[in-house]
Structure 1
């Protein structure tokens, strides 16, 4: 039987499984680090905020805002999708994708979970109900809606006329960008136990590179949906079921013919794009997406350490360990700073050169689960209660 666990960025929600035989000891308590004291070198400014429905609550979700041509697009779990002006946060349009029914006093929620992605004239979002929506950026009307092979937990990726979706049951599917027709499906295999979350594919030179719950990275030729190579970067080992989790839920990063991939309980690995052969690996695990920039890798590991490494061999440049178990989001680079947010609603600004804190701000009491998004001169971030913020340095 497949067991899917609720996951918050950087940490499995242990409290939901207390008393379960997955754990070897009676007291597997992880304590959140206290908020570090930071003397702000500058004060980040909230330029505007607006509500996007009811947010995600305590559910796992990969919903985060997207930005294109002066508009910001965001969604909530129930089915609200909004476009707002990036300068002032004023609503451009709003649609409701929840299911209208005569049998209930209110609409059935759409359970949106994967997205938001904006590309060209369409906004793409997927759902736990295995639906993929393409909305027109002009007014939010549905351009097409298609049935996926399973829950869509990762963001759709658009490339070469295809919309790629990685479903919770291990299927990588390609939909026609024009009409939503299924072009091909590749089975990436599933273990008996895995984390709740899926890798979004990275694309380069006509290939989609995607992580799997089986600890492998796969390369698929997008034109035919043909598997080119697979490489294991994480091996299921350990005394407990949790220790043996080996999901590759992060999105691979492709730079100069090198695929960088990161697994939970596994390795940060550099692979040759053409062959999939391992170039180097470093014992380091995470479920958070990571950054490769200027020959440096920035990541948040599964214990919420923020780490910078050299991209040529994985040598550690610095480590920031004052945010342990604060359920950090993936990092983002903005104006030369590394920015992460946490489950208590704080945003932390870190010097990318040495790992020292330069600023800290409390933004939202409901907390954050998904990373900030850079939109020109602003940072966009969506809180768990659905509030969307624009922040400037």
Structure 2
């Protein structure tokens, strides 16, 4: 009976969240991180470019929108508020460090975390600061012997750790994770701390709401379910952790919740479906040694799972975990998918956006950035995959510069969003592109 009551309350909470998600005010659109565009029963068969906006700064975090404004944070520390009618800058707020946290908008305020360890709360209409909260510090994940490098006493920073935690605003609280290994819940109006929970690793994933709980993953490869009111631990689920090379390790992306099930990918090479109430595993999908670094989108019957080295978008039956089909992206995907009507939209690290039929996997539409079309450095081979010899040269351990070369293809690290019946996406070079359904 307790589980039935919990499920009923969860359903009511998710329905309430979905009803306020038309503007796309938070990462993946709603508190359940479903990735579904609200109120879109029609499936666009193609798109055409409507407008573009240049930020002139690198972008990692995904955009959000509310009240006629599009908000985009950049790694130069600027949060841009762009008027969606005039397509001009309404206001600009400069943080003291880069922004790699997707903002959240609620009750007239916008919240985001910057790389200097500050959670900012601004007036969403004007950009005026309201309050800030300082964590114990933000950093990229680092470990000894990472990627086979010598264990010489120095930790190596993981260049694939792109994101900081994106806030969840629910029940008057702002909940987010930090590199100081804590999950924080603050009063949304004042910034006063309600509670803090110490995990076993850095927390860069966004929390997801599950009824009266929040669920969040950490770099110790564990998922934590915490009581929203008190921060008390309800359950903890440990995924795999490779401590030899520190490669197949960590939960990088937000989980998503649907009914009584939470879905989460791990860098251990598996994707998990767990019971929301107990944390017990219902099934897991083997990604064949590939990280699952993005958040899955959820439809009525499917789960859409992005992978990195696997080079596929895996589409699974959400009840059994049975694979229905793979869509070949051929390259790494860190952006999370977007469900629009009966189609799924996925953006990849080689500067492409794919729209496919969600039921069959048939391609519907594709966009390539101009930089990807030019492929000036020849990073993409004849099969549409990354040419590792050109990418890494004689230094296969030199991943930082390789990633920078990939970004110059107009790579997509930020996730696509659906705003005012338009597809909006920002590439790593800071170009905002908006597409409207083709007539």
Give the TM-score taking structure 2 as reference length: 0.62
Q: 2: distance between equivalents of 1:388 and 1:122?
A: 23
Preserved CA contact (<8 Å) 1:175 1:184: yes
Aligned residue number for residue 131 of structure 2:
184
Q: 1: distance between equivalents of 2:193 and 2:293?
A: 34
Per-residue displacement from partner, 1:268-299 (whole Å, max 9, x unpaired)?
12211111111222223511211121111111
Please give the residue correspondences for 1:67-78 in structure 2 after superposition, counting only pairs within 5 Å: none
Q: 1: distance between equivalents of 2:129 and 2:69?
A: 17
Pick from 149, 154, 162: which aligns with 2:96? 149
Report the number of matched residues. 292
Q: Closer, same or farther in 2 for the Cα pair 1:192/1:163, shift >3 Å? A: closer
Q: CA deviation at 1:323?
A: 2.8
Aligned residue number for residue 9 of structure 1:
none
Preserved CA contact (<8 Å) 1:211 1:250: yes
- Which is helix-richer, 1 or 2? 2
Preserved CA contact (<8 Å) 1:267 1:282: yes
Please give the residue correspondences for 1:226-245 in structure 2 after superposition, counting only pairs within 5 Å: 226-234=192-200
Which 10-residue stretch deviates more, 370-379 or 319-328?
Answer: 319-328
Q: Closer, same or farther in 2 for the Cα pair 1:219/1:322, shift >3 Å? A: closer
Q: Closer, same or farther in 2 for the Cα pair 1:89/1:139, shift >3 Å? A: farther
Preserved CA contact (<8 Å) 1:68 1:118: no
| Gap regions ≥5 residues in structure 1 | 1-64, 71-84, 99-109, 235-245
Aligned residue number for residue 71 of structure 2:
124
Q: CA deviation at 1:266?
A: 4.7
| Gap regions ≥5 residues in structure 2 | 1-34, 142-160, 240-249, 359-439
Preserved CA contact (<8 Å) 1:113 1:125: no
Q: Closer, same or farther in 2 for the Cα pair 1:326/1:192, shift >3 Å? A: closer
Aligned residue number for residue 299 of structure 1:
264
Which 10-residue stretch deviates more, 340-349 or 310-319?
Answer: 340-349
Please give the residue correspondences for 1:314-353 in structure 2 after superposition, counting only pairs within 5 Å: 314-326=279-291, 328-343=293-308, 345-353=311-319
Q: SS at the partner of 2:119? A: strand
Q: Note the aligned Cα RMSD (angstroms).
A: 2.3
Q: SS at the partner of 1:112? A: coil
Pick from 280, 283, 302: which aligns with 2:235? 280
Q: CA deviation at 1:322?
A: 4.0
2:199 maps to 1:259: no
Aligned residue number for residue 52 of structure 2:
94
Give the TM-score taking structure 1 as reference length: 0.69
Q: Closer, same or farther in 2 for the Cα pair 1:290/1:170, shift >3 Å? A: same
2:201 maps to 1:249: no
Q: Closer, same or farther in 2 for the Cα pair 1:191/1:123, shift >3 Å? A: closer
Q: Closer, same or farther in 2 for the Cα pair 1:200/1:213, shift >3 Å? A: same
Aligned residue number for residue 382 of structure 1:
347
Q: Closer, same or farther in 2 for the Cα pair 1:250/1:281, shift >3 Å? A: same
